[in-house]
Amino acid sequence: MDIAFIKQLIDLMEQRALAQLELQDGDKKVAILRHLPQAGGSVTAAPMPTVTPTPAGAVEPSPMVGVFYVAPSPNDAPFVQVGQRVQAGDTLGIIEAMKIMNPLEATQSGIIAEILVQNGDVVQFGQPIVRYQA
Q: What does the pLDDT look like over 94-123, one tens digit per residue?
A: 999 988 999 999 999 999 999 999 999 999
* pLDDT grade for 39, boundaries at 50, 70 and 90: low
Q: Do 26 and 73 sit in the same domain of this protein?
A: no
Q: Do 19 and 65 sit in the same domain of this protein?
A: no
Is pTM beyond 0.75 here? Answer: no
Domain boundaries, position 86: 59-132
Q: Do 74 and 10 sit in the same domain of this protein?
A: no
**Is 132 within 8 Å of 113 (Cβ atoms)?**
yes
What CA–CA distance (Å, rounded) separates 93 from 48? 24
What CA–CA distance (Å, rounded) separates 67 from 107? 20
Determine what percent of the chain is predicted with pLDDT higher than 90. Answer: 51
Q: Do 69 and 113 sit in the same domain of this protein?
A: yes
**Is 133 within 8 Å of 57 (Cβ atoms)?**
yes
**Dihedral (CA of 89, 68, 27, 29) sign:** negative
Mean pLDDT of the chain: 82
Label the pairing between strands 100-105 and 20-25. unpaired
> CATH code at 87?
2.40.50.100
Number of domains in the chain: 2
What CA–CA distance (Å, rounded) separates 127 from 131? 11
**Is 97 within 8 Å of 62 (Cβ atoms)?**
no
Q: Do 67 and 118 sit in the same domain of this protein?
A: yes
Residue 80 is assigned to a structural domain of this protein? yes
Residue 53 is assigned to a structural domain of this protein? no
Output the pLDDT for position 130: 95
Residue 51 is assigned to a structural domain of this protein? no
Cβ of 63: how many Cβ atoms within 10 Å?
22
What CA–CA distance (Å, rounded) separates 68 from 94? 6
